[in-house]
């Protein structure tokens, strides 16, 4: 159902906001049209076949219907929609399920495994059917004991303390683990031989070698047993791929399952990976204490089988396109080779808006994916509590100084590709929350006026309740104002 339409022209160069019921229209500069828009609630999209590989910040499940609707209105025949900051690929999946040709990209490499799996990139007809046999091969691999030493006694002790729910003793056990992050506090002669090996091989692959996850993240993000099981599975997946026992798509399918498991069992706030929950909070907070055991008692293999089962069901129903593309590049890298891209008529962009870098929240999935011994970051002479790797990628969109120029480059890319640009924007309720936005809504509109003046501009606000607000600043700061969709639609040729 389409609501009443009226064309509105602005005679000034100032931003005008017009409200009517559940709609929000913005127009900027002369000859820019504003339209009454269909509300998100009236557009139906079946999200039952969308796979959620990990708990991802800013996931766009709620506004998916209107994102799809606006993309379908703007897409041109025989062209691609470019999900340029794809994250865990929810939006890319919806595009694919509705028959669009999709390019999915994210700067973090582990997200490419999700996109390649869920967009069926490099998938052969028999790939899914043979997955059950591959699972049996992996099960045999996970029973091997190469990774257990020097953890045998620790595993036995951990199992005993978990059964007793002796939290204090468990935390003491974890504090005494021989791990890479403790090297700054140990005499060189007391460093364990596995730690010595890792420190001599920073940046090198951990496949068929000293277990990475157990030596970095056991006792903090995961239990000792869980970490070793993750190591076993990561090695097993790579071994099968190296031996040509699995295809490219199956490789990404299994990595997606493994990363899904890591998100389920990780002991952190919100199931993200920014940093493990502090020991003192576990001891004194009843809810966290229960969470501690809920997470620690999960069995990696059982969770892996659940992930395999659910991902298989989703894959059976996915649109089997052979034209989809996925890669992992920064926006700057994409711009440098934009002439090599296929014909794109819509760019969908959901960049970060706060100073919080995604490479901080998802450093562990990135490390599990690449599986190379990381150099841990040292701040003020200490390893960070999140055990972050040194040299994490930093997005210009997360910088108050650089965000405006990053958005300028995004608009320039849309101009170069002669593409419509659809941007998801989330507003900040209060600067006191620590999530102040690096760019304001008005600034994005200004950039659109500068670079995409020939486009029709539409701005939608989600969960909008009718209120008399006169300025864009007040709209952004209103308590119920959270998410916007900004659509710069190219005219039809």
**Judgement on whether residues 170 and 187 belong to the same structural domain of the protein:** yes
Amino acid 44: pLDDT: 59
460 within domain boundaries = yes
In the predicted structure, residue 190 carries a pLDDT above the cut 70: no
362 within domain boundaries = no
Let me know: does 358 contact 352? Beta carbons within 8 Å.
yes
For 33, the token pair is 């049209």
Quick one: average pLDDT of 465-479? 39
Amino acid 61: pLDDT: 74
Amino acid 474: pLDDT: 43
**Judgement on whether residues 301 and 439 belong to the same structural domain of the protein:** no
138 within domain boundaries = yes
List the single range of 78-92, 158-172, 433-447, 464-478 with lowest mean pLDDT. 464-478
Amino acid 475: pLDDT: 40
In the predicted structure, residue 480 carries a pLDDT above the cut 90: no
Percent over 90 (pLDDT), the chain: 69
Q: Which of 234, 223, 243, 215 shows the shortest CA–CA distance to 365?
A: 234
3-state secondary structure of 314: helix
In the predicted structure, residue 42 carries a pLDDT above the cut 90: no
**Judgement on whether residues 304 and 335 belong to the same structural domain of the protein:** no
136 within domain boundaries = yes
Last residue of a domain, one of 317, 340, 359: 317
DSSP conformation class of 88 = T
**Judgement on whether residues 442 and 340 belong to the same structural domain of the protein:** yes
28 within domain boundaries = no
How are the residues of the chain apportioned to helix, strand and coil, as percentages rounded to the nearest 5?
45, 15, 45
368 within domain boundaries = no
**Judgement on whether residues 161 and 64 belong to the same structural domain of the protein:** no
Q: How far apart are CA 261 and CA 246, in angstroms?
A: 20
In the predicted structure, residue 493 carries a pLDDT above the cut 80: no
Last residue of a domain, one of 294, 317, 340: 317
Band of pLDDT at residue 15, cut at 50, 70 and 90: very low
Amino acid 148: pLDDT: 76
Please provide the DSSP assignment of 111-149 as one string. HHHHHHHHTTTT--TTTTTTHHHHHHHHHHHHT--TTTT
Residue 415 sits in a domain of what CATH number?
A: 3.40.50.150
Amino acid 428: pLDDT: 65
**Judgement on whether residues 286 and 335 belong to the same structural domain of the protein:** no
CA distance to 170, 273, 434, per residue, from 287 (Å): 18, 19, 25
Instruction: Tokens 């599975």: give the residue.
Output: 233
Domain that holds residue 68: 51-110+326-351+398-489
2 within domain boundaries = no
In the predicted structure, residue 5 carries a pLDDT above the cut 90: no
**Judgement on whether residues 157 and 223 belong to the same structural domain of the protein:** yes
383 within domain boundaries = no
Number of domains in the chain: 2
pLDDT in tens, 298-356: 999 999 999 999 999 999 988 888 899 999 999 999 999 999 999 999 999 999 888 88
Amino acid 8: pLDDT: 24
CA distance to 95, 105, 110, 444, per residue, from 100 (Å): 5, 15, 23, 27
Q: What is the mean pLDDT of the chain?
A: 85
**Judgement on whether residues 179 and 224 belong to the same structural domain of the protein:** yes
**Judgement on whether residues 301 and 338 belong to the same structural domain of the protein:** no
List the single range of 13-22, 272-281, 443-452, 453-462 with lowest mean pLDDT. 13-22
**Judgement on whether residues 96 and 245 belong to the same structural domain of the protein:** no
Q: How far apart are CA 383 and CA 376, in angstroms?
A: 7
**Judgement on whether residues 146 and 213 belong to the same structural domain of the protein:** yes
pLDDT in tens, 137-157: 999 888 777 777 778 999 999
pLDDT in tens, 282-312: 999 999 999 999 999 999 999 999 999 999 9
Amino acid 476: pLDDT: 41
Band of pLDDT at residue 429, cut at 50, 70 and 90: low
**Judgement on whether residues 239 and 143 belong to the same structural domain of the protein:** yes
pLDDT in tens, 207-248: 999 999 999 999 999 999 999 999 999 999 999 999 999 999
Let me know: does 418 contact 381? Beta carbons within 8 Å.
no
List the single range of 11-25, 71-85, 171-185, 268-282 with lowest mean pLDDT. 11-25
Within 8 A by CB and 6+ apart from 134, the residues are 240, 245, 246, 250, 254
């Amino acid at each position: 159902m389409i609501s009443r339409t009226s064309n509105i022209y602005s005679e000034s160069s100032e931003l005008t906001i017009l409200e009517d019921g559940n709609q929000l229209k913005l127009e900027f500069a002369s000859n820019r049209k504003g339209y009454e828009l269909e509300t998100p609630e009236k557009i139906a999209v079946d999200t039952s076949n969308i796979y959620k590989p990990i708990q991802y910040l800013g996931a766009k499940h709620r506004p998916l219907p209107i994102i799809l609707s606006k993309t379908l209105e703007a897409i041109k025949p025989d062209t691609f929609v470019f999900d340029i900051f794809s994250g865990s690929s929810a939006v890319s999946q919806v595009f694919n399920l509705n028959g669009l040709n999709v390019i999915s990209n994210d700067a973090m490499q582990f997200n490419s495994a999700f996109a390649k799996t869920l967009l069926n990139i490099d998938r052969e007809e028999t790939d899914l059917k043979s997955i059950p046999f591959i699972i049996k091969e992996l099960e045999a691999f996970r029973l091997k004991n190469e990774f257990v030493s020097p953890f045998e006694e620790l595993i036995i002790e951990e199992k005993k303390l978990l059964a007793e729910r002796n939290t204090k003793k468990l935390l003491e056990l974890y504090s005494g683990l021989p791990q890479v992050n403790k090297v700054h506090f140990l005499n060189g002669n007391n460093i364990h031989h596995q730690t010595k090996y890792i420190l001599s091989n920073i940046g090198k692959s951990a496949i068929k070698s000293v277990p990475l996850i157990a030596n970095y993240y056991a006792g903090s993000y995961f239990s000792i047993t869980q970490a070793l099981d993750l190591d076993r599975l990561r090695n097993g997946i790579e071994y099968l791929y190296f031996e040509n026992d699995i295809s490219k798509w199956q490789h990404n399918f299994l990595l997606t399952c493994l990363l899904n498991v890591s998100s389920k069992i990780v002991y952190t706030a919100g199931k993200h990976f920014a940093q493990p929950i502090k020991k003192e909070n576990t001891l004194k907070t009843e809810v966290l204490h229960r969470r501690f055991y809920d997470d620690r008692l999960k069995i990696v293999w059982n969770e892996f089988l659940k992930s395999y089962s659910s991902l298989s069901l989703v894959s059976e129903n996915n649109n089997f396109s052979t034209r989809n593309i996925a890669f992992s590049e920064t926006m700057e890298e994409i711009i440098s080779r934009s002439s090599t891209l296929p014909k794109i008529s819509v760019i969908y962009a959901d960049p970060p808006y706060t100073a919080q870098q995604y490479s901080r929240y998802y450093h562990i999935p990135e490390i599990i994916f690449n599986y190379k011994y990381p150099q841990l970051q040292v701040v003020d002479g200490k390893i960070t509590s999140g055990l972050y790797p040194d040299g994490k990628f930093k997005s210009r969109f997360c910088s108050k100084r650089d965000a405006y120029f990053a958005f300028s480059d995004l608009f320039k890319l849309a101009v170069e590709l002669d593409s419509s640009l659809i941007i998801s924007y989330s507003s900040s309720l209060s600067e006191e929350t620590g999530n102040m936005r690096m760019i304001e809504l008005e600034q994005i509109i200004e950039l659109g006026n500068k670079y995409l003046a020939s486009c029709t501009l539409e701005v939608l606000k989600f969960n909008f309740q009718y209120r008399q607000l006169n300025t864009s600043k007040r709209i952004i700061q209103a308590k119920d104002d959270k998410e916007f969709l900004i659509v710069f639609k190219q005219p039809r040729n």
